[in-house]
C-alpha cells in the first residue's frame, strides 16, 4: 500500500475515535497527513531567560523545579515553581495525572513551552507543553522549529506531531509520488516533493522562521504551485464537463433585440456590442454557455442582459435573472417592464417577500411557461420553483452569490442545463480571473457609455456637516438629486435602520425645502419600492439609505453621494456606492465622510478612491490591501479553499500554473486525478451540485 491508499488507522495510536476527528480535518489517509501542513512554526530552540519574560509571549524556558505542590482553591491545582537563576515562573496544571505529579518533583530540570501570563504571584504558564531537559530524545525535539498544525477540537498538537512523524518515517521507505512533470521542478528550481514535505513538517533549526512565516520558502512555493495546479485542473474539468452537456442552442434572428435597441434611446458602446456578440455566439452553441461578464459600475451590463434574455425568449424559451438584493431585483423588474412593454413582454418578479396566493400564481405562471421572463432574488432557486423551459440563467452581481447558488439555479433547466450569464462589477486582474473562474469564459465591458464625467471624490471629516448640508441644498436647487448613505452596523439591522431614520429626520429638519426619502433593509418591500420610485421620478431630492442601495441602483439624475463613516467600509463597497452617481451626463461628486481618528489602512483606502475611479485599478489595490478571499466575495471562498497557496502572495505563479495545466493535460494526464485527490480530496466542491 502507498501512503495515498493507507488509512490513518494503520498508524499506531489511531483508533476509530481519533480517525473520526482527523476526518474533520480532511485527513483520511497517511498521505493526507503529509499534506496537512503546519500553519506556523514556533522557535523552541531559543530558550528565553525567565527574568526576561513578558506576559503574552509564547516562549521556551528551561529551569529547575524548586517547589511542587497541590493546592486546593476553587479546584485542585498542581503548581510547580521553576527557576533558572534569572527569575521564577509558576507552572499551573488544572488537569494532571499521578504520574505527572511524581515527575514534576523538586530538582528536576524541565524544558517548557507555552504562553506567559500574569498570575496571582508573578508570571505563570498554564498547562505548558514540557519535557525533561535531560531526556534522551532531547536533540530530536530541539533540532527543529516546532510545527503548529491546523487543528480541531480534540486533537492536541503533540498528537499531530507524533502522527506526522510516523507519516514522515513511512515516507522514507515508500514513495509519495512526485506528480509534477520534471520540467515544473526545473522551472521552480526547487527540491523534490519528499524533501519539501520533510522540510515543512520538520524545518531544521537554521531554517529562517521569517521566510517560512512569509510563505515564500521554496518548499512552500513548490507545494503552493502544486495546489494551484490541482485547483486549476479541477475547474477546467468542470468546465469541460459542462461543455459536453447538451444545452439549448438558441438561434433566433434577433428581432426582439433589434426592437429593444430602437426604443432604449441610446446606441450600444463598442464594448457592449462586442460582449453581446460573444454571448450570441455562445447561445447558439449546442452546449451550455458559462460566461462571466465583467464591467465596471455603470458600464451598462443590464442592457446586455436584456438582449440575451430576448434572444432566449424569441427562440421560445424562458430566461431568469437573479439579483442579490430585493431592491435590485425590483429595479430590474421595473427597467425591464419599461423596456419590454413595446414588445408586449411583461417580466414576473419573484422575491422572498412574495407570499400566499400571489406567490402561488407566480409559480404557476413560471411552471406553465406562459411568462417567459422571471426576475428575482435567490427565491428563484427554491425547491418549489419550476420552470417550463428555462434556457438562460442570468446572475447579476455575481460576487454576492456563492458558486453553489449559481449551480443550483442551473439545475432548474428542464432536462438540460440552461446557459449561464454571470455579471459582476468587481473586476479582477486577468490572471486571477483565469484561476478563480477557470470554469467560465470571461468577457469584459471595458468602456463606459459616452458623456460620463468621472466622479469627483472628496474625503472630509464628518464634523463639517454644515458645509455638507449646504452642498446638498445647492445640488437639489439645481434640480439634481442626492444620496446619503448611513453607516453599516454589522451586528444589528435594527440599529442600522434606527440610525438611518434619525439621520433622515435630522436632514429633513436641516433642509426644510427639500423632499427627503428613506430606505433601509427593515422596511416593507412596498414602502421601499414606493420610495425608490419617487426618487427615480425626481419627486424626492434627497434619499437617505443604508447600504441596501450598494448594488445596481440606477438613477442617472443623482449627482451627489454622501457616505458616512466611509472609513469603516471596504474599497469594493465604496466603489460600488460611488457608482450610484456619475451615471448621467452632469459632473458628479462623492463625499467620503470619516469620523476621526482614522487608521492608516482606512486613510489608504480612501486615498485610493480619491485617486482613481477605474474599477480595475480599485480592484487591484483592494487585492493588495485585503487579499483575494474578500475580493472574490466572502461567500465565494468555498470555491477556493487553499491550504498552502495564497492567490495574492503567489500571484506570480499563476501564469506558470496555467501553462503547466496544459502540459499536464497533454502529457501527464494520468497524474491529474491523484493530484486533485491530494489537494482537493474527495470533496464534491466543484462537482455538479
Ligand atoms: P451596470 O453595468 O453598473 O449594471 P447599468 O446597466 O445599470 O450599469 O447602466 C448604467 C446606466 O447607463 C443606465 O442608466 C443605462 O441605461 C445607461 N446605459 C447603458 N448603456 C448605455 C449606452 N450604450 N449609452 C448610454 N447609456 C447607457
Ligand atoms: Mg448592474
CATH class of 45-140: mainly beta
One CATH from 3.40.50.2300, 3.20.20.70, 1.20.1300.10, 3.40.50.300 for 255-445: 3.40.50.300
Measured from the CB, is residue 584 less than 6 Å from ligand 1? Answer: no
Q: How far apart are CA 514 and CA 477, in angstroms?
A: 8
Strand order in the sheet with 589-594: 456-461, 589-594, 558-563, 481-485, 542-545, 516-519
With a 6 Å cutoff on the Cβ, whether 270 touches ligand 1 is no
Which atom of ligand 1 has the smallest separation from the CA of 269?
23
What pLDDT, on the 0 to 100 scale, is given for residue 92?
Answer: 93
Among the bound ligands, the one closest to the CA of 445: 1
C-alpha to C-alpha distance for 327 and 532, rounded to whole angstroms = 9
Q: Chunked in runs of 10, what are the mean pLDDT values of the chain (689 residues)?
A: 80 89 87 88 84 88 93 88 94 89 92 90 90 64 73 79 90 78 75 87 85 88 91 84 86 92 94 97 93 89 96 96 88 92 95 88 94 93 90 83 62 82 78 73 90 89 92 94 87 83 95 94 84 92 86 84 91 88 88 90 91 84 64 42 78 86 90 88 45
| Cα(359)–Cα(372) distance, integer angstroms | 17
**Which residues are 504's β-sheet partners?**
none
Q: What is the three-class DSSP state of 71?
A: strand
Residues 6+ apart with CB under 8 A from 478: none
CA 613 – CA 235 distance, rounded (Å): 32
What contacts 71, CB < 8 A, 6 or more positions away? 77, 79
Q: Cα–Cα distance between 304 and 279 in angstroms, integer?
A: 9
pLDDT of residue 688: 35
pLDDT at 682: 55
- Which residues have C-beta within 8 Å of that of residue 441, sequence separation ≥ 6? 278, 282, 289, 290, 291, 292
**Using CA atoms, how far apart are residues 416 and 85, in angstroms rounded to an integer?**
77
Question: Could you tell me the distance, in angstroms and rounded to a whole number, from the CA of residue 295 to the centre of ligand 2?
Answer: 9
Give the H or E element holding residue 621: helix 615-626
| Cell, residue 656 | 506558470
pLDDT at 634: 36
- 582 Cβ inside 6 Å of ligand 1: no
Helical H runs in 215-285? Answer: 218-244, 255-264, 270-284
Residue nearest to atom 26 of ligand 1 (CA): 449
Residue 449 Cβ inside 6 Å of ligand 1? The answer reads: yes
Domains 255-445 and 455-612 share a fold: yes
Q: What is the pLDDT of residue 514?
A: 96
- CA 92 – CA 119 distance, rounded (Å): 9
Gap between the Cα atoms of 505 and 455, Å rounded:
28
What is the DSSP code string of 365-386? HHHHT---EEEESGGGGSTT--
Q: Which three cell numbers stand for residue 605?
A: 483606502
> What is the number of residues in the chain?
689
**Segments making up each domain of the chain, as ranges:** 8-41+148-214, 45-140, 255-445, 455-612
Indicate whether this model's pTM tops 0.85. Answer: no
Ligand 1 pocket check for 275: Cβ under 6 Å: no
From CA 635, how far away is CA 621, in angstroms rounded?
Answer: 21
Query: What does residue 505 show for φ and ψ, rounded to 5 degrees?
Result: -65, -45
Which of 440, 423, 429, 397 lies closest to 647 in space, CA to CA? Answer: 429
Q: What is the pLDDT of residue 686?
A: 42
Whether CATH 3.40.50.300 fits 455-612: yes
Nearest Cα residue to 314 out of 378, 377, 254, 374: 254
Question: Which residue has the least CA distance to atom 24 on ligand 1?
Answer: 449
What 8-state DSSP symbol labels residue 613?
Answer: -
Amino acid at each position: 500500500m502507498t501512503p495515498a491508499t493507507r488509512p490513518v488507522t494503520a498508524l499506531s495510536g489511531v483508533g476509530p475515535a481519533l480517525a473520526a476527528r482527523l476526518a474533520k480535518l480532511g485527513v483520511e489517509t497517511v498521505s493526507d497527513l503529509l499534506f496537512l501542513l503546519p500553519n506556523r512554526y514556533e522557535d523552541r530552540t531559543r530558550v528565553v531567560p525567565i527574568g526576561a519574560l513578558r506576559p503574552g509571549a509564547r516562549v521556551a524556558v528551561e529551569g529547575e523545579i524548586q517547589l511542587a505542590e497541590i493546592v486546593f482553591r476553587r479546584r485542585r491545582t498542581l503548581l510547580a515553581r521553576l527557576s533558572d537563576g534569572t527569575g521564577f515562573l509558576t507552572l499551573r496544571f488544572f488537569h494532571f495525572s499521578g504520574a505527572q505529579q511524581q515527575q514534576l518533583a523538586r530538582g528536576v530540570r524541565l524544558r517548557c513551552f507555552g504562553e506567559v501570563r500574569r498570575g496571582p504571584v508573578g508570571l505563570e504558564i498554564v498547562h505548558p507543553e514540557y519535557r525533561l531537559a535531560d531526556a534522551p530524545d532531547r536533540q530530536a525535539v530541539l533540532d527543529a522549529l516546532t510545527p503548529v498544525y491546523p487543528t480541531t477540537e480534540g486533537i492536541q498538537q503533540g498528537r499531530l506531531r507524533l502522527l506526522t512523524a510516523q507519516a514522515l518515517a513511512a515516507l522514507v521507505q515508500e514513495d509519495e509520488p512526485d506528480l509534477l512533470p520534471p520540467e515544473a521542478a526545473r522551472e521552480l528550481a526547487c527540491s523534490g516533493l519528499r524533501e519539501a514535505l520533510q522540510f515543512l513538517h520538520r524545518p531544521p533549526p537554521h531554517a529562517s522562521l521569517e521566510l517560512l512565516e512569509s510563505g515564500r520558502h521554496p518548499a512552500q512555493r513548490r507545494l503552493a504551485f502544486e495546489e494551484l495546479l490541482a485547483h486549476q485542473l479541477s475547474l477546467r474539468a468542470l468546465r469541460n464537463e459542462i461543455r459536453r452537456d447538451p444545452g439549448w442552442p438558441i438561434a433566433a434572428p434577433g428581432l426582439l433585440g433589434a426592437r429593444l435597441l430602437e426604443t432604449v434611446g441610446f446606441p450600444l458602446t463598442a464594448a457592449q456590442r462586442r460582449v453581446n456578440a460573444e454571448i450570441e455566439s455562445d447561445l447558439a452553441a449546442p452546449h451550455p454557455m458559462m460566461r462571466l461578464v465583467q464591467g465596471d459600475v455603470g458600464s451598462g451590463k443590464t442592457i446586455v442582459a436584456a438582449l440575451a434574455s430576448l434572444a432566449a425568449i424569441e427562440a421560445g424559451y424562458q430566461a431568469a435573472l437573479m439579483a442579490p438584493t430585493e431592491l435590485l431585483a425590483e429595479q430590474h423588474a421595473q427597467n425591464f417592464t419599461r423596456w419590454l412593454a413595446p414588445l408586449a413582454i411583461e417580466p414576473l418578479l419573484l422575491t422572498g417577500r412574495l407570499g400566499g396566493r400571489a406567490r402561488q400564481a407566480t409559480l404557476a405562471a413560471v411552471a406553465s411557461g406562459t411568462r417567459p421572463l422571471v426576475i428575482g432574488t435567490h427565491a428563484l432557486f427554491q425547491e418549489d420553483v419550476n420552470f417550463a423551459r428555462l434556457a438562460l440563467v442570468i446572475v447579476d452581481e455575481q460576487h454576492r452569490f456563492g458558486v453553489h447558488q449559481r449551480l443550483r439555479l442551473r439545475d432548474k433547466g428542464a432536462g438540460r442545463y440552461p446557459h449561464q450569464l454571470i455579471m459582476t462589477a468587481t473586476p479582477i486582474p486577468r490572471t486571477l480571473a483565469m484561476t478563480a473562474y477557470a470554469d467560465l469564459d470571461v468577457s469584459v465591458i471595458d468602456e463606459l457609455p459616452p458623456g460620463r464625467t468621472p466622479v469627483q471624490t472628496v474625503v472630509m471629516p464628518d464634523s463639517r456637516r454644515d458645509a455638507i448640508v449646504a452642498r446638498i441644498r445647492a445640488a437639489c436647487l439645481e434640480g439634481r438629486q442626492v444620496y446619503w448613505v448611513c453607516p453599516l452596523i454589522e451586528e444589528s439591522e435594527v440599529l442600522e435602520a434606527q440610525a438611518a431614520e434619525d439621520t433622515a429626520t435630522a436632514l429633513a429638519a436641516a433642509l426644510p425645502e427639500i423632499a427627503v426619502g428613506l430606505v433601509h433593509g427593515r422596511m416593507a418591500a412596498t414602502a421601499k419600492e414606493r420610495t425608490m420610485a419617487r426618487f427615480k421620478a425626481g419627486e424626492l431630492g434627497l434619499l437617505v439609505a443604508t447600504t441596501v442601495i450598494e448594488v445596481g441602483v440606477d438613477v442617472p439624475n443623482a449627482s451627489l453621494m454622501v457616505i458616512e463613516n466611509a472609513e469603516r467600509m471596504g474599497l469594493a463597497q465604496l466603489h460600488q456606492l460611488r457608482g450610484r452617481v456619475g451615471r448621467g451626463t452632469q459632473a458628479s461628486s462623492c463625499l467620503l465622510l470619516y469620523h476621526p481618528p482614522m487608521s492608516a489602512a482606512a486613510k489608504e483606502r480612501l486615498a485610493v478612491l480619491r485617486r482613481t475611479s477605474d474599477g480595475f485599478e480599485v480592484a487591484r489595490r483592494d487585492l493588495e490591501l485585503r487579499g483575494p478571499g474578500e475580493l472574490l466575495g466572502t461567500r465565494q471562498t468555498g470555491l477556493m479553499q487553499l491550504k498552502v497557496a495564497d492567490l495574492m502572495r503567489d500571484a506570480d505563479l499563476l501564469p506558470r500554473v496555467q501553462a503547466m495545466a496544459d502540459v499536464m493535460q497533454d502529457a501527464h494526464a494520468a497524474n491529474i486525478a491523484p493530484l486533485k485527490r491530494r489537494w482537493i480530496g474527495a470533496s464534491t466542491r466543484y462537482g455538479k451540485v
